[in-house]
C-alpha cells in the first residue's frame, strides 16, 4: 500500500477532532455533570465511601462558583443556577451511594437532573447575554445623550443667532460633526418660504457673531430641496498651513473627477471636465502657477486624457513636465524612457498656432469619423476612454489672450473660442487662467457659459477680484476670508463655490509624478492622429523643441566670451548645428527620440544624423557634464551619506532627501548611482522591495 493511501486511511480512522480546551455549553455541561455524578456514586458505593464527603464537596463547589460569579458580577439568577446545580448533584450522589446507583429510580432521576441543569444553564446564559447587550446599549445611549446635548446646544445657539441677525426663523433638523474635527454642518428648514440665498447673504455677520477664527466661515448652500438649507460652520482655520500634494499617484479618470484641492472640512474637491471648461484666476503671488501644476498632475494621473499646454511666457508652466524627460534625466524602474508629463507644449506664438490648428482638425475629423460609434453607443457625446482620450487644452493666461487687442493674440483668441464653442461633444475641453476676475476677463459670454468650473485664488488681493462676477448668485464670499497663498474659492456645477486650499507641489514631486505616470498616458487615437498629421507627430522634433533647450541669454550679444569675459555664453552643445556634428547632448536627445519613436509610435526625427560626436566639437561651451553626474559634488555628497550610514545602511529616498535642498537631486538619480556602485562593488544591497538598504563596502566587509 502506498504511503498516500496509508495516510488517507489513518486520516479517516482518526475520528472527530475534539477541542479539549473549549468551554462547556448547556448540553456538554449537563452531560459532564451527570456522568461525573454517576461515576462518583458508583465508585463510592463500591468502596463504601462516607456520603458526607460528597455533600462537603458539593457545598464547596457551590460556594466557590458563587464567589467567582460575584467577582465577575454575574446576575443573581446565574449564581443561584450554578449553586443549585452543585447542591442537587451532590445530593443525588449521596442518595445514590446509599441506595445504589444502578437502579432504575437512580438512573431516571439522574437523567431528569441532567435535563434540568442543561435548561437552567441555557436560560442563565441567555440572560447574561441580554444583560451584556443592555449594558453596551446603555453606554451607547449615554454617549449619544452627551453628543445630543452638545448638538442641541449648537442648534439652539444658531436658531437664536439666525433669528437675531437675519430676522429669519429656522428649525434645525440635524447637526453633523465633521470627522476631521474642523467644524460641523446644520440642516436647516427656514420658515415662511425663505430660501438658502437669504441666509447666505449674512455669512459675514453670522461668522462674526459666532466669533469664528480668521479664515473660518458660516457658509449657507442649498439643501435636499428648495425648502432646506445646509449651513457649514468651520471652526478651525485649515487654509493657513501649506498642504503638500498627496503621495497617492493612483489612476484617475476625467469621467469620475479630478481632485484639485481640499475644502475646509478636509474633503477633496474635484473637477468634472468631460463637458465643462475651467477658469482659474489669481493675481501674482496667490499660488496660481502652483495650482496649475497641481491641475497638470491630476491630468497626468488620468489614463483617458492627453494634455496640451500653451504658455507664451517661455512655456514656464509646462517646462517642468517636459524638460527632465527630453534631457533623459528620468528613467523608469526597468530603465525605459520616460514620456513627458504633458503631451504637447507650445511656448511660442508659431507653435501655439500649429497646436490650435491641429486641435481644431482633430475635433472636426472626430465628428465625421466617429458617427458609427456614436450611433452604436446611442449618444451624442464621444465615449471617452484610453483608446479615445480626451484632450485638455491648458492655456496659461488664456483669458487675457481672449481680450487682447494685439493682432496676433486676436488670431489665437479666435481659434481658442472655436475650440470652446465647437468641440465639447468630441472630448476637447480647455482650462484657461487669468490674473484677475475682472469684467474684461468675464465679459466673454463663451467663457461664462462653458467655464462652469471656476477657481479664484485670492491671496488676500482685493484689486481685480470681483467674486460676485466670478460666482454669480453665490452670496457671502469675501476675499478677506482667504488671505493665504494657495487659498481661495472653487465652484463647480456639482459643488457650489466655497473656500478651498490648493495643494503645494514641488519640482521633485513633479519629476516623481512624471515617472510614475509615464506608462499611463494614452496614445492619441489613430483617427485623431491622422487628422493632426505631421504637426502632432513631429511635435518633439529638434527644430520644434529648440526654444526649450536654447539657453543663450540674448541674440544681440557676442556669441563667444572674450578674454576679458565680455559677451554671453554660447551653449551650442544644447542645440543642433546645421551641417555639423552633434554634441553629446544632441546625441542623447537623438537616442531619446529614437526610443520614444520605437515604443510609442511617434514620427522619426528628420533632423538627426547617424554620425556620433566627433573629436571636433562645435564652437561654444560643451555642457556634456549635464548629461552625466560622474564625480559631481552631489554624487560625492551621496557617497558620503552612504558611508556615514554605517553598517545599518540607508535607502535611496533618505539620500535624496538629504541632497534635495543643496543640489536638487531626485530619488531617480540616486537610484541610478546606487545601481552603478553595486556593479563596481562600491556598495552592497541588503533586503528587497521597500525594505532594501544599501551598505558601503567598507562596512559590509566588517560584517
The domains found in the chain, sorted by start residue, are 24-137 (no CATH), 168-234 (no CATH), 273-532 (3.40.50.300), 540-580+588-626 (no CATH), 633-700 (1.10.10.10)
pLDDT given at position 76: 67
CB contact at 8 A, 437 and 469: yes
Beta carbons of 202 and 209 less than 8 angstroms apart: no
**Placement of cell 485649515 in the chain:** 238
Q: Express as a percent the part of the chain with pLDDT over 90.
A: 31
Does position 272 have pLDDT exceeding 50, yes or no? yes
SS3 151: helix
Q: Rounded CA gap, 298 and 517, in Å?
A: 10
Q: How much is the pLDDT for 624? A: 37
Alpha carbon distance 658, 530 (integer Å): 48
Tell which wins on pLDDT, 215 or 363: 363
Pairing of strands 218-222, 453-457: unpaired
The Cα–Cα gap between 387 and 305 comes to 10
Which carries the bigger pLDDT value, residue 449 or residue 41?
449
Asked if residue 142 has pLDDT above 70, the reply is no
For the entire predicted model, the pTM comes to 0.60
Tell me which of 80-84, 472-476, 501-505, 667-671 is least confident. Answer: 80-84
Cα–Cα distances (Å) from 567 to 491, 617, 619, 624, in that order, read 51, 20, 14, 21
Q: What is the pLDDT of residues 631-686, one digit of tens each?
A: 577 888 888 888 888 888 888 888 888 887 777 777 778 888 888 888 888 889 88
**pLDDT of the residue at 639:** 86
- What is the average pLDDT across 11-32? 53
End-to-end CA distance of the chain: 53
Q: What average pLDDT does this structure show over 261-279? A: 90
Most confident of 169-183, 432-446, 548-562: 169-183
User: Are the CB atoms for 340 and 325 separated by under 8 Å?
Assistant: yes
Sorted by sequence, the CB contacts under 8 Å of residue 320 that are 6+ apart come out as 293, 341, 507, 510, 511
**For residues 32-61, average pLDDT:** 69
Who wins on pLDDT, 284 or 253?
253
57 DSSP 8-state letter: H
- The span from the CA of 518 to the CA of 332, in Å, is 8
User: What's residue 180's pLDDT?
Assistant: 81
In the predicted model, is pLDDT for residue 61 greater than 80? Answer: no
pLDDT of residue 526: 94
DSSP assignments along 440-456, one per residue: HHHT-HHHHHH--EEEE
Mean model confidence pLDDT for the chain? 78
Which residue in 379, 363, 375 sits closest to 418, CA to CA? 363
DSSP codes of every residue in 83-130? HHHHHHHHHHHHHHHHH-TTSHHHHHHHHHHHHHHHHHHHHHHHHHHH
pLDDT of residue 32: 67
Does pLDDT of 1 surpass 60? Answer: no
Compute φ and ψ for 602, nearest 5 degrees: -85, 170
Q: How confident is the model at residue 420 (pLDDT cuts 50, 70, 90)?
A: very high
Q: E strands within 352-486?
A: 390-395, 428-434, 453-457
Instruction: For residue 621, give the H/E element and its range.
Output: none
Cβ(330)–Cβ(515) under 8 Å? yes
pLDDT at 44: 65
Q: What CA–CA distances, in Å, run from 217 to 156, 195, 234, 361? A: 19, 19, 6, 47
Nearest Cα neighbor of 456 from 474, 305, 307 is 474
Displacement of CA 636 from its chain's centroid (Å): 36
Q: What would the mean pLDDT of 304-329 be, rounded to a whole number?
A: 91
Structure-block grid coordinates of residue 428: 476637447
Per DSSP bridges, beta strands 218-222 and 258-263 are: unpaired
Torsion region of 115: left, alpha or beta (phi above 0 gives left; psi -120 to 50 gives alpha): alpha
pLDDT of residue 147: 52
266: which DSSP letter? S
- What size, in residues, is the chain? 703
**480-516 pLDDT tens trace:** 788 888 898 999 988 888 889 999 999 999 999 999 9
Rounded to 5°, angle at Cα 418 from 415 and 420: 115
Say if strands 453-457 and 428-434 run parallel, antiparallel, or are unpaired. Answer: unpaired
Contact assessment for residue 392 and residue 431, using Cβ atoms and an 8 Å cutoff: yes
pLDDT band of residue 29 (cuts 50, 70, 90) is low
C-alpha cell at 690: 521597500
Q: What pLDDT is stored for residue 84 in this prediction? A: 73
Percentages of the chain per state (helix, strand, coil), in multiples of 5: 50, 15, 35
Q: How far is CA 325 from CA 299, 304, 329, 681, in A?
A: 17, 21, 6, 29
**Residue 134 binned pLDDT confidence (cut-offs 50, 70, 90):** confident
d(CA 587, CA 609) in angstroms, rounded, equals: 9
Taken in order 656, 658, 664, 670, the sign of the CA dihedral is: negative
| Calpha distance 83→88 (Å, rounded) | 9
What gap in Å lies between CA 590 and CA 602, rounded to an integer?
13
Quick one: pLDDT band at residue 532, thresholds 50, 70, 90? very high
- pLDDT, position 688: 76
pLDDT exceeds 80 at position 174: yes
- Pairwise CA distance, residues 596 & 587, whole Å: 14
What whole-number distance in Å separates Cα of residue 292 and Cα of residue 275? Answer: 20
Out of 9-23, 129-143, 219-233, 552-566, pick the least confident. Answer: 552-566
Per-residue confidence band for 276, with pLDDT thresholds at 50, 70 and 90: very high
Q: How many helices (H) and strands (E) does the chain have?
A: 25, 16
Selected residue with higher pLDDT from 225 and 691 = 225
H-type alpha helices, 167-177:
none
Amino acid at each position: 500500500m502506498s504511503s498516500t493511501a496509508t495516510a488517507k486511511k489513518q486520516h479517516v480512522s482518526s475520528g472527530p477532532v475534539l477541542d479539549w480546551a473549549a468551554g462547556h455549553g448547556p448540553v456538554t455541561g449537563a452531560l459532564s455533570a451527570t456522568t461525573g455524578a454517576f461515576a462518583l456514586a458508583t465508585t463510592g458505593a463500591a468502596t463504601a465511601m462516607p456520603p458526607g464527603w460528597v455533600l462537603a464537596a458539593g457545598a464547596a463547589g457551590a460556594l466557590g462558583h458563587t464567589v467567582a460569579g460575584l467577582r465577575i458580577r454575574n446576575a443573581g439568577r446565574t449564581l443561584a443556577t450554578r449553586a443549585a446545580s452543585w447542591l442537587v448533584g451532590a445530593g443525588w450522589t449521596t442518595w445514590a451511594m446509599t441506595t445504589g446507583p444502578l437502579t432504575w429510580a437512580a438512573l431516571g432521576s439522574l437523567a431528569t437532573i441532567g435535563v434540568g441543569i442543561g435548561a437552567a444553564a441555557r436560560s442563565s446564559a441567555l440572560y447574561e447575554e441580554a444583560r451584556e447587550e443592555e449594558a453596551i446599549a446603555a453606554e451607547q445611549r449615554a454617549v449619544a445623550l452627551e453628543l445630543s446635548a452638545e448638538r442641541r446646544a449648537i442648534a439652539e445657539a444658531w436658531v437664536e443667532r439666525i433669528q437675531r441677525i437675519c430676522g429669519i426663523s429656522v428649525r434645525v433638523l440635524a447637526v453633523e460633526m465633521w470627522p476631521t474635527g474642523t467644524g460641523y454642518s446644520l440642516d436647516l428648514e427656514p420658515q415662511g418660504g425663505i430660501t438658502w440665498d437669504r441666509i447666505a447673504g449674512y455669512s459675514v455677520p453670522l461668522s462674526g457673531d459666532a466669533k469664528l477664527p480668521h479664515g473660518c466661515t458660516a457658509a449657507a448652500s442649498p439643501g435636499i430641496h428648495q425648502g432646506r438649507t445646509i449651513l457649514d460652520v468651520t471652526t478651525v482655520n485649515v487654509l493657513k498651513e501649506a498642504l503638500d500634494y498627496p503621495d497617492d499617484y493612483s489612476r484617475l479618470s476625467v469621467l469620475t473627477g479630478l481632485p484639485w484641492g481640499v475644502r475646509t472640512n478636509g474633503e477633496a474637491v474635484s473637477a468634472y471636465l468631460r463637458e465643462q471648461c475651467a477658469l482659474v484666476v489669481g493675481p501674482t503671488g496667490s499660488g496660481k502657477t502652483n495650482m496649475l501644476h497641481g491641475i497638470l498632475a491630476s491630468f497626468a494621473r488620468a489614463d483617458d486624457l492627453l494634455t496640451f499646454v500653451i504658455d507664451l511666457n517661455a512655456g514656464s508652466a509646462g517646462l517642468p513636465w517636459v524638460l527632465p524627460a527630453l534631457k533623459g534625466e528620468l528613467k523608469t524602474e526597468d530603465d525605459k524612457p520616460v514620456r513627458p508629463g504633458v503631451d504637447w507644449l507650445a511656448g511660442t506664438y508659431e507653435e501655439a498656432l500649429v497646436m490650435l490648428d491641429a486641435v481644431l482638425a482633430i475635433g472636426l475629423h472626430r465628428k465625421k469619423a466617429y458617427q458609427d460609434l456614436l450611433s452604436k453607443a446611442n449618444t451624442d457625446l464621444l465615449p471617452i476612454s484610453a483608446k479615445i482620450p480626451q484632450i485638455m487644452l491648458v492655456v496659461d493666461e488664456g483669458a487675457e489672450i481672449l481680450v487682447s487687442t494685439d493682432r496676433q493674440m486676436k488670431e489665437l483668441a479666435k481659434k481658442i473660442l472655436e475650440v470652446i464653442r465647437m468641440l465639447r461633444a468630441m472630448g476637447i475641453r480647455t482650462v484657461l487662467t487669468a490674473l484677475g476676475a475682472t469684467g474684461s476677463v468675464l465679459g466673454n459670454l463663451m467663457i461664462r457659459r462653458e467655464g462652469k468650473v471656476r477657481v479664484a485664488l485670492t491671496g488676500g488681493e482685493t484689486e481685480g477680484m470681483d467674486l460676485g462676477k466670478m460666482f454669480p448668485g453665490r452670496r457671502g464670499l469675501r476675499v478677506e476670508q482667504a488671505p493665504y497663498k494657495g487659498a481661495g474659492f472653487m465652484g463647480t456645477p456639482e459643488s457650489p463655490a466655497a473656500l478651498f486650499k490648493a495643494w503645494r507641489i514641488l519640482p521633485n514631486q513633479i519629476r516623481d509624478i512624471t515617472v510614475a505616470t509615464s506608462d499611463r498616458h494614452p496614445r492619441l487615437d489613430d483617427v485623431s492622429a491622422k487628422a493632426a498629421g505631421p504637426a502632432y507627430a513631429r511635435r518633439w522634433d529638434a527644430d520644434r523643441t529648440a526654444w526649450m533647450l536654447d539657453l543663450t541669454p540674448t541674440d544681440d550679444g557676442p556669441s563667444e566670451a572674450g578674454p576679458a569675459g565680455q559677451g554671453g555664453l554660447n551653449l551650442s552643445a544644447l542645440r543642433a548645428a546645421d551641417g555639423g556634428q552633434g554634441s553629446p547632448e544632441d546625441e542623447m536627445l537623438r537616442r531619446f527620440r529614437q526610443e520614444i519613436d520605437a515604443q510609442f509610435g511617434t514620427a522619426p526625427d528628420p533632423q538627426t544624423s547617424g554620425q556620433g560626436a566627433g573629436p571636433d566639437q562645435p564652437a561654444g561651451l560643451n555642457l556634456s557634464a549635464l548629461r552625466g553626474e560622474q564625480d559631481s559634488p552631489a554624487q560625492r555628497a551621496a557617497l558620503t551619506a552612504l558611508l556615514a550610514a554605517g553598517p545599518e545602511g540607508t535607502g535611496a529616498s533618505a539620500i535624496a532627501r538629504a541632497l534635495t535642498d543643496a543640489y536638487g537631486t531626485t530619488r531617480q538619480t540616486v537610484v541610478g548611482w546606487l545601481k552603478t556602485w553595486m556593479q563596481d562593488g562600491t556598495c552592497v544591497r541588503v533586503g528587497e522591495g521597500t525594505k532594501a538598504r544599501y551598505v558601503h563596502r567598507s562596512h559590509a566587509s566588517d560584517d
